[in-house]
Amino acid sequence: MKSTLLRSFLALAVISMISASAQTSSAAPAGTSALPAAPSAASGTPAATSPAPSTTIATGTGSKVGTINIEQAVFNTNEGQRDFEALRKKLEPKQNELKSQNDELEALQKQLQAQGDKLNEDARATLVKQIETKKKSFDRSVQDAQEDAQNQQKDIFQRILQKMAPVIVKHAQEGNFAMIVDTSNQWPQSPILWYGEQNDITKAVVDLYNTQSGVPAPTGAGATAPKPTTPKPVAPKPATPKPTTPQ
């Protein structure tokens, strides 16, 4: 589940939260600079001085450049794995409901394709109208489900990131980093063309966050936490009505 909308929101959230944390951290060394807070996603009007999303997320007076995959860090925390798995289960009934609607729509389309030539004009028109009505209802349901799932995913991500931001800043300052950049997006979506893994702090931040949060690891954890998914059943297009052959 990684839509363009979600990625844009996350990029703005990363910059805003970590910048705010760097500005208010009591452990910040003299001369530490922080990015200007990014505008909220709802404002729709980026500030002229705001940096490009997914670039620099905090700066200091150290001597090293570090990297962190913010998206991976949030998803891989014990809290993230727990909450996104809970959300997945919460969305299962809606996903099953959408699947049932999709199956019903497909059955009607197959009926139209199989019997269309044998139906009289009124029966065929009724069936076509039924398909069109159900498809419109299905499309609306899918859109509503996607928006609801994305909003809940963003709420979880923002809540965890807000608590993770000071952990990132503190670790970067103690590790003598001059800059930490987010590698969640790949080039060319991100300005980072290449980076080595020797200064990647993703795992360290996840470990520190897990210790701080006190949330136990999910049962059977060990693999990378699966990303949350948005229900996206594909609605088939209704068959085009065939013109009635004049007798």
70-118 pLDDT, tens digit each: 999 999 999 999 999 999 999 999 999 999 999 999 999 999 999 888 8
Q: Which of 52, 4, 5, 20 is nearest to 161 (CA)?
A: 20
Per-residue pLDDT tens over the stretch 18-38: 555 555 554 433 333 333 333
**b/e sequence 180-194, b meaning 16+ C-beta within 10 Å:** bbbbbbeeeebebee
Distance (Å, whole) CA 113 – CA 117: 8
- As a whole number of angstroms, the distance between CA 212 and CA 125 comes to 64
The sheet carrying 64-68 orders its strands as 56-59, 177-182, 64-68
Contact assessment for residue 51 and residue 15, using Cβ atoms and an 8 Å cutoff: yes
Which residues make beta-bridge pairs with 59? Answer: 179
Helix (H) / strand (E) containing 58: strand 56-59
Global pTM exceeds 0.95: no
Residue ranges in the chain modelled with pLDDT below 50: 1-5, 8-9, 11-12, 26-56, 221-225, 228-247
